Chain A
Amino acid sequence: MIYLLQRLGRTTCNSLAKTGRSAFFLAHGLSGVTDIALRPYLLIKQLYSVGVLTLLIITISGLFVGMVLGLQGYYTLSDFGAEESLGVMVAASLVRELGPVVSALLFAGRAGSALTAEIGLMKATEQLSGMEMMAVDPIKRIISPRLFACILSVPLLAAIFSSIGVIGGHLVGVGMLSVDEGAFWSQMQSNIDFYDDIVNGIIKSVVFGFMVAWIALFEGYDAVPTSEGVSRATTRTVVNSSFSVLALDFILTALMFGDI
């Protein structure tokens, strides 16, 4: 019993300490924005490895998600004779929910895990200590460019995901299930609101990108510098960031679209 209490206490203390460390880490990472302004090539390089390399999986997944939405939406809507609304249905689901959420989840799996492993291994091989001894701040030099690259690329990836998804829905709905093409587009145009749907979707994906980047980079930086420690940290990144994305999605949806 005492032992359990001790363990509970220790776990609580450790997680509080970790939260504190991660907050300082984030503030330090964000303060690196000035260094990025001086060395934009660092950011560009990360935009490539974090953003461009995730593009393929985002495009393909977006296409399939859109196609599935087209199929499912058609069967449900045709029961009510509302096939013409397929365009709105597909676009709204994508822009509001699936675009930001699924692309953030894919991003966490593809780029987040890679970031944690990269930073963790840099720590394990003393590259971060080495930089410190060369009077170069590893957080500003290594972490900040990656942090901002994630914050910038996740919304773009989500936008691409949604656009490709709409094309997928169109392929299935208009191409295979003969929904009227004019109705598909015009209903979409008149019912998707720029502020309510698109801007809110972008806000969501900025928040998700920020969250995934924070978790992935901190887990790497805080990893136990051994092969086992890095592999555990990588797992934690994927699990924690997926969980945070889904939980934050609920909160943001409630704030944006709900009347809570």
Chain B
Amino acid sequence: MIPSMEKRGQPQNIVSIKNLSFSRHDRKIFDDISLQIPRGKITAIMGPSGTGKTTLLKLIGGQIKADQGEIKVDEQAIGELSLSGLYALRKKMGMLFQSGALLTDLTVYDNVAFPLREHTRLTESMIRTLVLMKLQAVGLRGARDLMPNQLSGGMARRVALARAIALDPTMIMYDEPFTGQDPISMGALLHLIKTLNNTLGLTSIIVSHDVQETAAIADYIFILANGKIVDQGTPPQIADTQSDWVKQFMGGDADGPVRFHYPAPDYADDLLMLGK
């Protein structure tokens, strides 16, 4: 797909998942799924809340172990790495947590500087330059002296993004990057994700249920539901899907194969307390 990369002998897929199964408390979250994430592209993973999108990112990051199957990142099987091997691999991955996960006792500036101070021997003035560049990219250079509890949810997520790209990772995983963003910062964020991906040659994985926004920038989409991949393809392919389920999900319709209501007895009967 990307000739220049293949010429350098790098395999085309940065993440490859084979026959993955994972359960939590007897509930099967993933039931024998396989998927490939191509290098240098923006891949979106979508699905309703609670299907395990965050869990999938944690499995890729090696924070939790799969019950069955194999996850390879950069040709290394995550399950078989030692702790130090895993840490070395994680330096090449950035992850943007749903909540931001900023360190609450450090300022915005120190949060972004944190991975640089931990993993590099740069001087403070070089760190300062890098931190200000990353903060400028997310539009929060002026907020450098604020503490995380002074930020709105959307701002916190952008600071976390600046921190995630501080070490210039080769792959970055975004967990719900769009929730809580106003239309202006949403636009800026979409643009930023796209530019980061294209200019730095990053691989991006976006987990989201914001269908329209994600579809607008993704190169390839996987749709997860009930532990399975129910559909996959490029955005136009997904838009032309034959599946009623996917149509409903992408269109956000209340009516369709998925019910908005949790199973319940008849509404009128319930109100009149018939049949208790």
The smallest beta-carbon distance between B209 and chain A, in angstroms, is: 19
B91 sits at the interface (CB 8 A):
yes
- A133–B163 alpha-carbon span in the complex (Å): 11
The smallest beta-carbon distance between A120 and chain B, in angstroms, is: 13
From known contacts A132-B63, A134-B115, A135-B119, infer whether A126 and B97 are also in contact, taking CB-CB under 8 Å. Answer: yes
Are the CB atoms of A130 and B88 closer together than 8 Å?
A: no
Are the CB atoms of A136 and B118 closer together than 8 Å?
A: yes
- A141–B63 alpha-carbon span in the complex (Å): 17
- A125–B163 alpha-carbon span in the complex (Å): 16
Are the CB atoms of A127 and B87 closer together than 8 Å?
A: no
A249 cross-chain contacts in B, Cβ below 8 A: none
Q: For residue A45, which residue of chain B has the nearest CB?
A: B105
A129 sits at the interface (CB 8 A):
yes
A137 cross-chain contacts in B, Cβ below 8 A: 87
Q: For residue A131, which residue of chain B has the nearest CB?
A: B103
Are the CB atoms of B63 and A134 closer together than 8 Å?
A: no
A135 cross-chain contacts in B, Cβ below 8 A: 87-88, 90-91, 115, 118-119
Interface residue from B93, B95, B101 paired with A125 (Cβ < 8 Å): B101
The smallest beta-carbon distance between B158 and chain A, in angstroms, is: 15
Q: Which residues of chain B from 69 to 120 have any CB-CB distance to chain A below 8 Å in the complex?
A: 87-88, 90-91, 93, 95, 97-99, 101-104, 114-115, 118-119
- A169–B40 alpha-carbon span in the complex (Å): 75
Contact flags (1/0) for A111-129 with B, using CB distance below 8 Å? 0000000000010011101
Main secondary structure of the interface of A (DSSP, over half): helix
Are the CB atoms of A133 and B91 closer together than 8 Å?
A: no
Are the CB atoms of B114 and A125 closer together than 8 Å?
A: no
Q: Please, how many residues of chain A have a CB less than 8 angstroms from a CB on the other chain?
A: 14
Are the CB atoms of B97 and A129 closer together than 8 Å?
A: yes
B61 sits at the interface (CB 8 A):
yes
- A60–B200 alpha-carbon span in the complex (Å): 60
A136 cross-chain contacts in B, Cβ below 8 A: 114-115, 118
Q: Which residues of chain A from 119 to 171 have any CB-CB distance to chain B below 8 Å in the complex?
A: 122, 125-127, 129-137, 141
Are the CB atoms of A126 and B101 closer together than 8 Å?
A: yes
B104 cross-chain contacts in A, Cβ below 8 A: 122, 125, 127
A126 cross-chain contacts in B, Cβ below 8 A: 97-99, 101
Interface residue from A122, A132, A134 paired with B114 (Cβ < 8 Å): A134
Interface residue from A127, A129, A133 paired with B93 (Cβ < 8 Å): A133
For B90, B103, B167, the residue with the greatest tally of chain A CB atoms inside 10 Å of its CB is B103
Are the CB atoms of B88 and A133 closer together than 8 Å?
A: no
- A126–B119 alpha-carbon span in the complex (Å): 20
A134 cross-chain contacts in B, Cβ below 8 A: 90, 114-115, 118, 163, 167
- A213–B100 alpha-carbon span in the complex (Å): 29
B160 cross-chain contacts in A, Cβ below 8 A: 130
Q: Which residues of chain A from 77 to 131 have any CB-CB distance to chain B below 8 Å in the complex?
A: 122, 125-127, 129-131
Are the CB atoms of B63 and A129 closer together than 8 Å?
A: yes
A131 cross-chain contacts in B, Cβ below 8 A: 103
The smallest beta-carbon distance between A188 and chain B, in angstroms, is: 44
A125 cross-chain contacts in B, Cβ below 8 A: 99, 101, 104
B95 cross-chain contacts in A, Cβ below 8 A: 130, 133
Q: For residue A49, which residue of chain B has the nearest CB?
A: B105
- A122–B98 alpha-carbon span in the complex (Å): 15
The smallest beta-carbon distance between A102 and chain B, in angstroms, is: 30
The smallest beta-carbon distance between B150 and chain A, in angstroms, is: 15
Are the CB atoms of A127 and B90 closer together than 8 Å?
A: no
B99 cross-chain contacts in A, Cβ below 8 A: 125-126
From known contacts A125-B104, A135-B119, infer whether A130 and B97 are also in contact, taking CB-CB under 8 Å. Answer: yes
The smallest beta-carbon distance between A242 and chain B, in angstroms, is: 28
Are the CB atoms of A127 and B101 closer together than 8 Å?
A: yes
A-B pairs with lowest CB-CB distance, top 3: A130-B101, A126-B101, A135-B90
* A-B contact sample (15 more), CB < 8 A, given A129-B97, A130-B102, A136-B118: A125-B104, A126-B98, A126-B101, A127-B101, A127-B102, A127-B103, A130-B97, A130-B160, A132-B90, A133-B63, A134-B114, A134-B163, A134-B167, A135-B88, A137-B87
23 A-B pairs whose Cβ atoms sit less than 8 Å apart in the complex: A122-B104, A125-B99, A126-B101, A127-B103, A127-B104, A129-B63, A129-B101, A130-B95, A130-B101, A130-B160, A131-B103, A132-B90, A133-B61, A133-B95, A134-B90, A134-B115, A134-B163, A135-B88, A135-B115, A135-B118, A135-B119, A136-B114, A136-B115
